[in-house]
Amino acid sequence: MANQQRTKISLKYDQKQSVVILAVICCLLWGTAFPILKISYQELGLQPNDIFSKMVFAGLRFLLAGMIVFIYYFIKNKKIPEMNKRSIMPFIIFGLLNTTIQYFFFYTGVANTTAIKGVLLDTSKPLIVVIIAHFIYKNDRINLNKALGIILGFTGIILVNMSKIGGGGLALNFSVYGEGFLIISSIASAFAVIYGKKISKIYDPTVMNCYQFLFGSVVLLGVGLIAKGGFHLKFNALALVLLIFSALVSAIAFVIWYNLLKHNKATTVTIYIFLIPIFGTMISSIVLPNEILNINIIISLVLSATGIYLVNKNSKEVLNFENDI
């Protein structure tokens, strides 16, 4: 009897087809963040002005994410993620920037604007990173393509915040606690990327992100609980599932993304980041009844996605390091 050969489908981090599939999966997972957060707020009974309860909820998510990455590292390497006196302070600083500060503003901002606007405002992250990188890295200056990407990206962000007023004119629809907080979150994220890039040359990215999740989440939880936030959260079955799903998104997407960056040229991977706002906008419009696509949003999405594509395609240094979304 002749031996039958079975076709085995496998995804390897260094195969071109696998890179595309896995990078798209990461962007799809990150794109779910905005609608999932909106639904979570509804299920938990969280009001837009309940800032400290949002801190508790964010802290729980990233504490779980840190624990998942910790377990992954332990299973893979048969040892716990190493941390010593030299690394503890860089990990704490990274955690404060990337998790505590970024997500304090992010979770409050999302509650005070629409999911679709949140998705498009979040596209400012890579644009701000490119601007900061210009003044730090000699080999990553802003060139014509990057400048065009920045202009297109911010034009899309401005356009999505414009609304019609009487007489056929347009006005900027912008609130401090909504759109303003999301911009501050993006700035914190940009500095986290810069700092993370620096320390990733010294420490294992999996280890440093494991501990930054844990340190950053503990601060969020601590401040939120001290301020008596989170005690009235209504954790029904759906809310609990969404919390676990959000933590898994952070952990799984991170592990896949860093393995892709480890085995491939960075621009081969980061070029797909432009898909995040596309997925986020489409998913929000499908699962959230009040999120409606209109011509203004579609044009903003095209401009923002194109801007992200251009800056990532032409970045040599700092965008090679991506933090959690």
Q: Per-residue pLDDT for the chain (325 aa), expressed as one digit of tens each?
A: 444 444 444 567 767 788 889 989 999 999 998 899 999 999 998 888 899 999 999 999 999 999 999 999 999 999 999 999 999 999 999 999 999 999 999 999 999 988 888 888 988 888 888 898 888 877 778 888 889 999 999 999 888 887 655 455 545 677 888 999 999 999 999 899 888 888 888 888 889 989 999 999 999 999 999 998 888 888 899 999 999 999 999 899 888 887 787 777 766 777 788 888 999 999 999 999 888 888 888 999 999 999 988 887 766 655 555 555 5
Whether residue 201 lies inside any domain: the answer is yes
Helices assigned H by DSSP within 112-180: 115-122, 124-136, 144-160
Distance CA 41, CA 57 (A): 9
User: In which domain, by residue range, is 88 found?
Assistant: 26-319
The DSSP letter of residue 99 is: I
Whether residue 2 lies inside any domain: the answer is no
Q: How many domains are contained in the chain?
A: 1
Whether residue 17 lies inside any domain: the answer is no
Whether residue 15 lies inside any domain: the answer is no
Could you tell me which residues come within 8 angstroms of residue 82 by beta carbon, excluding any fewer than 6 positions away?
204, 207
The residue type of 251 is A
Whether residue 6 lies inside any domain: the answer is no
Whether residue 16 lies inside any domain: the answer is no
Whether residue 244 lies inside any domain: the answer is yes
For 58, how many CA atoms within 13 A lie in the half-sphere containing its CB? 33
CA 265 to chain centre: 21
Whether residue 226 lies inside any domain: the answer is yes
